[in-house]
Amino acid sequence: MKALFVSIALASLLAISSTAQAQAVREFMPDEVLDTPTAGYTQDAFEADANALRAKRDAKKITEIQYAKEALSLVRRFQPNNYEAHTVFEYQVLLATKFQKKKISQEEYQYLWAERLNEYLAKAKKAEDQARADEEYRQTRQNIAERESARMAEEKARSEQAYREHLAIAAAEDERQQRIRATAGFLQGMGNTFSRTYQNPTVNCTSLPLGTGVSTTCR
């Protein structure tokens, strides 16, 4: 995109300014300074038209005013919604008119046009830098949010797994206690039966849970 804008914007400087000044303007050129072109009018077509217009101007086949007006027309066609760029080239038409009518000198024309163009390019670059910074900030915030979401999901999964393990342990312990109680009840019943059958001497049996088993005492 730099080459495209330089083809049309710097063409107006090349004939009246030094190579060093033209290069200085190129260094201010942002990657994107224009918006979507008119449907069917491609970048290649715009560049070809801009080069042809510059050649006509360099060969002095058109006046400075004609060049400025045709440059404005090309920019409007290529970037119909970039009103700020239109304003820049409209200003060039005004300067070219004054220059051709000898109301300003070539040096004044050169200085005023370069100043306005550099102002526009610097503003466009600042806007581009801000947009890039905003996008980097948005991406950073999104990455942080995604990492936090992943961390919370992992933490939730660990918590759910720990809860399931707790339930499994509790269920196993409950089952073990039930088996102990069942065994104790069975032994208690046997002791009572023995006691009723053999009255003399009297025998009393008591069964109590002990560790993972049952302790039974008969007297």
In the chain, where are the structural domains located?
Answer: 2-140
Give Cα 96 to chain centroid, integer Å: 44
pTM of the full structure = 0.49
**Which tens digit of pLDDT belongs to each residue from 16-51?**
433 433 343 333 333 333 345 556 777 888 888 888
Give Cα 81 to chain centroid, integer Å: 26
CB 120 within 8 A of CB 85: yes
Residue 168 CB-half CA count within 13 A? 6
CA distance 175 to 10: 89
Considering only CA atoms, give the Rg of the chain.
46
Peptide bond into 30 cis (omega under 30): no
CA distance 110 to 21: 10
- b/e burial code for range 25-39 (CB count within 10 A of at least 16 → b): beebbbeebbeebee
Q: Return the SS3 of 133.
A: helix
pLDDT higher than 90, residue 103? yes
Q: Which residue has the higher pLDDT, 27 or 65?
A: 65
| Of 34-48, 54-68, 123-137, the least confident | 34-48
**Which tens digit of pLDDT belongs to each residue from 174-212?**
888 888 887 777 777 666 665 565 555 555 666 666 666
Residue corresponding to tokens 């049952």 = 214
Q: What are residue 206's DSSP bridge partners?
A: 217
In angstroms, what CA-CA distances link 144 with 130, 137, 191?
A: 21, 11, 70
